[in-house]
């Protein structure tokens, strides 16, 4: 029985029941019971044709609300309910396929973001971090399981974090940190639910900048060295000839000698730049951080004025590193020399501390309490030809940075809030080659 037939039958039966109720005394009993039977039959038919499809719709809504895309509605043998179940099952099939496709896309996107060489940080509409990838944590010198969710950019308490927070929305900026790292920071946004949702991209351009700088200063140094050496060679010959001609004239001889010394000084000055370009490859040996610094102490005592105290601290632990001992000595000497010069210039510090740390993190720290480094100077540290000293050549830290890069070390130079300036060097703990073992002298 169709729904329309059941509805008509219900109207007829209700009409008959009304007639029987009005004329109860004259209406035959069989007519009354027939009307009751027809009314019950029509109500049952209507329930079967309306209530059951409604129950099917309710069950389907429950499945949608629970997001149970794998479940399906079964046929109940009623035409309208079965049509609703068939339509619902087709809808669930499409939702299931879309759900799987979206989940696969989200998974792929998540893997791509996590494997991206660029650091990425996503924020909510209020500027709180909701997600960061592994590269971003590495750039921030944080472990991979660090949770930054809920923090704002201003709450990222390190040098790179403060640089990111200083970038205006929709802009990009290139920053150089105190550990030679150079980053290009993008602060962008995309539309989500009609609102701007901000995100951060951080790209490491350290290698590109270093290669460009190295190529530029190598070319300049070679050109200057070539021109100066050629000029000094001809000038030296002329001075030697003049010296022979005026060998008996004391005043002229002193002048010629002074010119020769000045030419020699200029040649050595240019040669010091050329030495950076001709830096040889490291001859790696396995040596102890603490033993090497102790071995250098007598020499360091000779270059540090008596007013400055030199203290060596060695933490317990395995501190074997892979290094070129000659180059390693040059690094320590240059950094210590810069430290006591900072103390001399400030006239307020009096101590240099060299600390070695072994174990899982092989680290060397050279600390002084002299003149600190301003944020402006920090941006230009390790840049070729840059120096804060009036007569500086800008080669000391350039040479140090080049040596440490060839040793695969990470390093930084910065002044901390307590006023101490610390040069930190982190050595690799896993050796990529088998160097010869050399005992410290």
- Residue 38 and residue 389: Cα distance in Å, rounded? 111
The Cα–Cα gap between 426 and 328 comes to 13
Does residue 441 surpass a pLDDT of 50? Answer: no
The three-class DSSP label of residue 148 is coil
- Average pLDDT for the chain: 78
Q: Residue 48's pLDDT is what? A: 63
**Cα four-point dihedral sign 119, 125, 127, 130:** negative
Give residue-wise pLDDT tens across range 376-403: 777 677 766 666 665 655 567 778 888 8
Question: Angle CA(420)–CA(421)–CA(426) in degrees, nearest 5?
Answer: 120
How crowded is residue 268: how many other Cβ atoms within 10 Å of its Cβ? 9
What is the C-alpha separation between 359 and 319, in angstroms, rounded? 6
Is 128 within 8 Å of 155 (Cβ atoms)? no
Residues above pLDDT 90, as percent of the chain: 5
pLDDT at residue number 6: 59
Confidence class of residue 439 from pLDDT cuts 50, 70 and 90? very low
Distance CA 179, CA 173 (A): 18
Q: Between the ranges 110-114, 257-261, 334-338, where is the mean pLDDT highest?
A: 334-338
Q: How many residues does the chain have?
A: 441
Predicted TM-score of the model (pTM):
0.57
Question: Of 67-81, 125-139, 324-338, where does mean pLDDT reach its minimum?
Answer: 67-81
The CA–CA distances, whole Å, from 259 to 122, 230, 244, 264, 266 equal: 65, 16, 15, 9, 11
| DSSP assignments along 28-75, one per residue | -HHHHHHHHHHHHHHHHHHIIIIIHHHHHHHHHHHHHHHT-TT--PPP
Q: What is the pLDDT of residue 8?
A: 65
Check residues 11 and 410 and name the one with the higher pLDDT: 410
Mean pLDDT: which of 216-230, 239-253, 293-307, 419-433 is highest?
293-307
- Confidence category of residue 18, pLDDT binned at 50, 70, 90: confident
264 compared with 198, residue with greater pLDDT: 198
Indicate the helix (H) or strand (E) that contains 419.
none
Range with lowest mean pLDDT among 7-16, 34-43, 176-185, 318-327 = 7-16
pLDDT, tens digit, for every residue of 248-274? 777 777 777 777 777 777 777 666 666
Determine the 3-state secondary structure of 142 from DSSP: coil
Task: Assess contact for 131 and 151: CB atoms under 8 A.
Answer: no
Whether 425 contacts 409, CB under 8 Å: yes
Mean pLDDT across 28-44: 70
SS3 for 410?
Answer: strand
pLDDT value, residue 225: 74
Q: Decide if 365 contacts 355 (C-beta within 8 A).
A: yes
383 compared with 155, residue with greater pLDDT: 155
- Mean pLDDT of the region 108-135: 86
How far is residue 129 from each of residues 147, 148, 153, 200, 279, measured CA to CA in Å? 10, 7, 8, 10, 45
């Amino acid at each position: 029985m169709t729904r329309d037939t059941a509805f008509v039958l219900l109207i007829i039966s209700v009409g008959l029941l009304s007639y029987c109720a009005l004329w109860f005394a004259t209406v035959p009993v069989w007519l009354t019971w027939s009307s009751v039977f027809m009314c019950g039959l029509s109500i049952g038919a209507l329930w079967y044709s309306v209530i059951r499809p409604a129950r099917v719709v309710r069950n389907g809504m429950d499945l949608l609300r629970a997001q149970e895309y794998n479940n399906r509605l079964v046929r109940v043998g009623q035409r309208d309910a079965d049509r609703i179940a068939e339509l619902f099952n087709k809808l669930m099939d499409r939702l299931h396929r879309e759900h799987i496709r979206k989940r696969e896309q989200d998974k792929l996107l998540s893997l791509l973001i996590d494997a991206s060489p660029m650091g990425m940080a996503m924020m909510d509409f209020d500027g709180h971090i909701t997600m960061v990838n592994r590269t971003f944590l590495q750039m921030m010198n944080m472990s991979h399981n660090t949770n930054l969710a809920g923090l704002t950019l201003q709450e990222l308490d390190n040098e790179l974090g403060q640089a990111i927070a200083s970038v205006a929305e929709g802009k990009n900026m290139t920053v150089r940190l105190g550990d030679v790292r150079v980053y290009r920071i993008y602060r962008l946004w995309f539309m989500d639910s009609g609102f701007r949702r901000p995100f951060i991209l951080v790209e490491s351009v350290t290698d590109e900048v270093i290669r460009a700088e190295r190529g530029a200063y190598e070319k300049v140094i070679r050109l200057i060295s070539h021109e100066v050496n050629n000029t000094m060679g001809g000038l030296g010959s002329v001075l030697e000839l003049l010296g022979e001609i005026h060998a008996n004239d004391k005043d002229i001889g002193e002048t010629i000698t002074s010119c020769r010394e000045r030419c020699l000084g200029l040649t050595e000055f240019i040669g010091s730049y050329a030495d950076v370009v001709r830096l040889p490859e490291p001859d790696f040996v396995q040596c102890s951080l603490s033993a090497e610094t102790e071995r250098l102490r007598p020499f360091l005592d000779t270059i540090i004025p008596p007013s400055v105290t030199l203290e060596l601290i060695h933490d317990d632990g395995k501190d074997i590193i892979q290094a070129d001992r000659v180059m390693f000595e040059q690094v320590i000497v240059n950094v210590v020399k810069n430290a006591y010069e900072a103390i001399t210039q400030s006239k307020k510090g009096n101590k240099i501390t060299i600390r070695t740390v072994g174990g899982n993190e092989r680290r060397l720290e050279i600390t002084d309490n002299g003149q600190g480094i301003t944020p402006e100077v920090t941006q230009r540290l390790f840049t070729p030809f840059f120096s804060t000293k009036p007569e500086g050549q800008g080669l000391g830290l350039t040479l140090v940075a080049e040596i440490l890069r060839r040793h695969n070390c990470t390093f930084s130079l910065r002044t901390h809030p307590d006023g101490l300036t610390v040069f930190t060097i982190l050595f690799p703990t896993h050796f990529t080659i088998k160097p010869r073992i050399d005992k410290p002298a």
